[in-house]
Amino acid sequence: QVQLVESGGGLVQAGGSLRLSCAASGRTFSNYAMGWFRQAPGKEREFVAAISQSGSSTNYEDSLKGRFTISRDNAKNTVFLQMNSLKSEDTAAYYCAATALAYTARRVLQYAYWGQGTQVTVSS
């Protein structure tokens, strides 16, 4: 069982940066690959990035590669999403999630545990 709480969202101008955090509770955080997803109004929840249990491997949506970086600190039970060069189309609610599958999982239904989401709004 894993409980997840996101933080770090907010309003930022285009071209700016934000770092999202996801704090996890539970004894087996390091047993899970972790992912970030986002959902804009009127759109389906979409994959952003994922990271393996140890943090040694990552997986990104192609369009976001180079701007977004996922990382984790297992000692602190926390996963991060560093977002740089933000664009208006990045505006969405961002969710962290945990999966017992590999970090290559990219589908919503492959993740068993979810945070409540944190809103990121990018203004022009």
Model confidence over 19-39: pLDDT tens digits? 999 999 977 888 999 999 999
Pairing of strands 78-83, 18-25: antiparallel
- Mean pLDDT score of the chain: 96
Q: Model confidence over 41-64: pLDDT tens digits?
A: 999 999 999 999 999 999 999 999
Percent of the chain residues past pLDDT 70, beyond the cut: 100
pLDDT of residue 1: 78
pLDDT of residue 19: 98
12 vs 26: CA distance, rounded Å: 32
> Per-residue pLDDT for 99 more than 90?
yes
Query: b/e per residue, 15-44, with b = 16+ CB within 10 A?
Result: eeebebbbbbeeeebeebbbbbbbeeeeee
81 vs 67: CA distance, rounded Å: 10
- The one-letter code for the residue type at 94 is Y
Mean pLDDT calculated for residue range 77-93: 97
